[in-house]
């Protein structure tokens, strides 16, 4: 039974706070979204909710904390696309489709393929042709092996039968610095990151990785519209609970989370960043996790990617 269903004053004592575990340090996008949801979800459930940061090792410390928690509806974790990809590349006892209870998808954000202006192309078709005819493979930057940006680059190469050299960085800040400096030629950036650099003439946009155009970038085509179908990559966030958490608790949190994400103010704020506020049933989120696992397992095998 969900403890939040018991009034805080019942039995003369407060229920213990709920927590949302985050597998990154404070301050990043997943942490920011988690804190916003924690505040609104706490208000709807009449219960304190704290965000607990457990950074490092591909979210392994966070997953260990989730696995050890009582399945009583008082512990959640904010998963991301990376949380699903990482165990496919590195030794881990976790399988997201098996070892957690999916609760609800909360947001999704695509990427923009950007290139340095020194590359003499103006469209995705021209870029693909350039890659096929250039004897020296271009470099693309990512925030690390197994990141959604890395996977976007590998999926793009498979879809276009082209070859690029992956340059992994420890985070996107140094990757962007080398991209703007022309030391690497391409990457996949978020809307909020790419727009100022494009407007300043330091980068050029070619296509977005979402299934439909991004509202904040109405003039930038999807990969399918630009002639390269099959390149759909989003960095999503979603809530999960420990295995065996009662269905009543999971359904209640999922329902409240979906209502929160439908807030016009929250949706508008996310849209400005190129993100989309989502909401799903536990079954829908579980299906997404399975689909992501299958897709990235195939890409990793076909591209011969090895975690290191």
Does any domain span residue 224? Answer: no
Does any domain span residue 34? Answer: yes
Average pLDDT over residues 290-304: 94
Q: Which domain holds residue 202?
A: 112-208
Q: Identify the domain boundary among 191, 208, 225.
A: 208
Q: Identify the domain boundary among 192, 208, 224.
A: 208
Does any domain span residue 229? Answer: no
| pLDDT at residue 36 in the model | 87
Helix 247-261 to helix 282-303 angle, to the nearest 10 degrees? 80
Instruction: Note the pLDDT tens digit of each residue in 146-168.
Output: 999 999 999 999 999 999 999 99
pTM assigned to the model: 0.87
Neighbour tally for 131: CB within 10 Å = 21
Instruction: Note the pLDDT tens digit of each residue in 248-268.
Output: 999 999 999 999 988 887 788
Would you state the structure tokens that stand for residue 39, as one six-digit string?
A: 């505040």
Instruction: Note the pLDDT tens digit of each residue in 185-236.
Output: 999 999 889 999 999 999 999 999 999 998 889 999 999 999 999 999 999 9
How many whole angstroms separate alpha carbon 308 and alpha carbon 163? Answer: 21
113, 188 Cβ separation under 8 angstroms:
yes
Does any domain span residue 223? Answer: no
Average pLDDT over residues 72-94: 90
In this structure, the answer to whether residues 118 and 195 fall within a common structural domain is: yes
In this structure, the answer to whether residues 61 and 147 fall within a common structural domain is: no
In this structure, the answer to whether residues 102 and 116 fall within a common structural domain is: no
CATH number at residue 242: 3.40.190.150
How many whole angstroms separate alpha carbon 298 and alpha carbon 291? Answer: 11
Q: Identify the domain boundary among 138, 173, 208.
A: 208
Does any domain span residue 190? Answer: yes
What values do phi and psi take at 186, rounded to 5? -150, 160
For the chain, give the mean pLDDT. 90
137, 164 Cβ separation under 8 angstroms:
yes
| pLDDT at residue 3 in the model | 39
DSSP state of 303: H
CATH number at residue 152: 3.40.190.10
69, 281 Cβ separation under 8 angstroms:
no
The pLDDT confidence band at residue 12, using thresholds 50, 70 and 90, is very low
Percent of the chain with pLDDT strictly greater than 70? 94
In this structure, the answer to whether residues 264 and 171 fall within a common structural domain is: no
Does any domain span residue 15? Answer: yes
Q: Is residue 308 classed as helix, strand or coil in its secondary structure?
A: coil
State yes or no: pLDDT of 2 exceeds 80: no
Based on the number of CB atoms within 10 Å of its own CB, is 38 exposed (0-12), middle (13-18) or buried (19 or more)? Answer: buried
Does any domain span residue 219? Answer: no
Helix 282-303 to helix 148-160 angle, to the nearest 10 degrees? 60
Number of domains in the chain: 2
């Amino acid at each position: 039974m969900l403890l939040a269903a018991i009034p805080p004053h019942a039995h003369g004592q407060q229920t213990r706070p709920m927590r949302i575990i985050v597998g990154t340090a404070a301050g990043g996008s997943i942490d920011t979204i988690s804190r916003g949801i924690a505040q609104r979800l706490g208000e709807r459930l009449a219960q304190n909710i704290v965000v607990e940061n457990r950074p490092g090792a591909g979210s392994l410390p966070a997953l260990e904390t989730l696995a050890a928690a009582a399945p009583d509806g008082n512990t959640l974790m904010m998963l991301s696309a990376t949380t699903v990809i990482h165990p496919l590349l590195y030794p881990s006892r976790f399988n997201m489709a098996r070892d957690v209870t999916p609760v609800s998808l909360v947001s999704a954000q695509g990427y923009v393929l950007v290139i340095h202006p020194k590359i003499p192309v103006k469209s995705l078709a021209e870029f693909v042709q350039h890659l096929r005819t250039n004897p020296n493979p271009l470099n693309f930057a990512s925030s690390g092996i197994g990141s959604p940006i890395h996977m976007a680059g590998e999926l793009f190469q498979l879809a276009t039968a082209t070859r690029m050299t992956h340059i992994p960085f420890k985070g996107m800040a140094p990757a962007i610095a080398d991209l703007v400096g022309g030391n690497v030629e391409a990457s996949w950036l978020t809307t909020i990151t790419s727009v100022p650099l494009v407007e300043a003439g330091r980068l050029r946009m070619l296509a977005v990785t979402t299934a439909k155009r991004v509202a904040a970038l109405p003039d930038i085509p999807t990969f399918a519209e630009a002639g390269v179908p099959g390149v759909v990559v989003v960095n999503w966030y979603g809530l999960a609970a420990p295995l065996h958490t009662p269905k009543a608790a999971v359904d209640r949190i999922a329902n409240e989370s979906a209502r929160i994400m439908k807030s016009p103010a929250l949706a508008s704020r996310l849209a400005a960043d190129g993100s989309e506020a989502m909401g799903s049933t536990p079954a829908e989120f579980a299906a997404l996790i399975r689909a992501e696992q299958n897709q990235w397992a195939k890409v990793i095998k076909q591209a011969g990617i090895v975690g290191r």
